A and B are shown apart, each in its own frame.
Chain A
Amino acid sequence: MDEKKLIEEAKSGNRKALAEIVKKYEQTIYNFSFKICRDPERAENIMQETFYSMVKSLNQFDGNSKLSTWLYRIVANHCLMQARKQKGKHYISLENDEDLYTEKHIADWDSLPYKNTENNELRMILDEAIQKLSPDYRIVFLLRDVEGLSTEETAEVADISIPAVKSRLHRARAFLRKEIDEAFKK
């Protein structure tokens, strides 16, 4: 059954169709949730909440965007809501661009020992770097660069303007690159 038909069936109360949609997207949504929160338990929780919201409000899905884009939006909202609840948590400000480019000599990463992201040490570096990034920036970087959404889709999911996507993306990339570079030098 194609996706459009599947959605129609699910909207009309077909539970098997609903379960099929869940099965089709669970891996993508879990992986994306993990990439935002970097914690398996929280990722599973966000995945469950996302599909719960989907089941509750599928009738509001108008089909103008892809279902995956709609699901990404639900994940992003859940994550931003969770982040707002963590009141004590502070993130590094990325307001001053020039702080991101202070190096006089830029190292050639070709000589790095890390070629494989299965390496635990590299995974730790990546986890630590992205967790310092505020969720507003993290979501834009992950949607645009990692999940491969277009700038327009990213703007729609994150509910911000296209210039805001570009500016957040540029700062997030520069920040992560700098954090990783500093960790490599240790």
Chain B
Amino acid sequence: MSKEIKVTCLEVMSHICDSLGEDLDSERCLDIKSHLEQCPDCTNYFKSVQMTIDYYKKYNVNLPPDAHNRLISFLDLDKDE
């Protein structure tokens, strides 16, 4: 059974979060996906949201040198019982 559902760019943008990690097979998401295939602006939007998430995912920091020792000392776990 096919149902014609029109999706606007604003709707695509409003529901983009669901297509990024939630219930990908929902009717809504399938409509979004088919809209994305035909709309360059929404494709760019979708890509830039994914890149935003990816940037923050990859921006990691290491524990500073000696922070472990400071933490263990702060918690008083450096002394024998």
Give the tally of cross-chain contacts (CB within 8 A). Answer: 116
Interface size, chain A (Cβ < 8 Å) = 50
B38 is an interface residue with CB less than 8 A from chain A: no
Please encode chain B, from 34 to 68, with 1 for each CB lying within 8 Å of some chain A CB and 0 for all others: 00000011101101110111011111111110011
Residue B14 is within 8 A (CB to CB) of chain A in the complex: yes
A23-46 interface code vs B (CB 8 A; 1 in, 0 out)? 100110011001100001001100
CB of B67 within 8 A of CB of A30, answer: yes
Within 8 Å of chain A (Cβ to Cβ): is B25?
Answer: no
Majority SS at the chain A contact face: helix
Answer yes or no: B77 CB below 8 A from chain A CBs: yes
- A-B contacts, 14 of them at CB < 8 A, read A23-B68, A26-B71, A30-B61, A44-B67, A48-B70, A55-B75, A100-B13, A106-B42, A123-B59, A126-B59, A130-B56, A173-B53, A180-B52, A180-B55
Number of B positions contacting A (CB below 8 A): 40
Expressed in whole angstroms, the Cα–Cα distance for A18 and B16 within the complex equals 42
Closest 8 CB pairs of A and B: A170-B17, A106-B44, A117-B58, A106-B41, A117-B59, A177-B52, A19-B77, A109-B48
Encode A155-184 as 1/0 by CB contact (under 8 A) with B.
Answer: 000000000001001100110110011000
A interface with B by C-beta (< 8 Å): 15, 18-19, 22-23, 26-27, 30-31, 34-35, 40, 43-44, 47-48, 51-52, 55, 97-98, 100-101, 105-110, 114, 117, 122-123, 126, 130, 141-142, 144-146, 151, 166, 169-170, 173-174, 176-177, 180-181
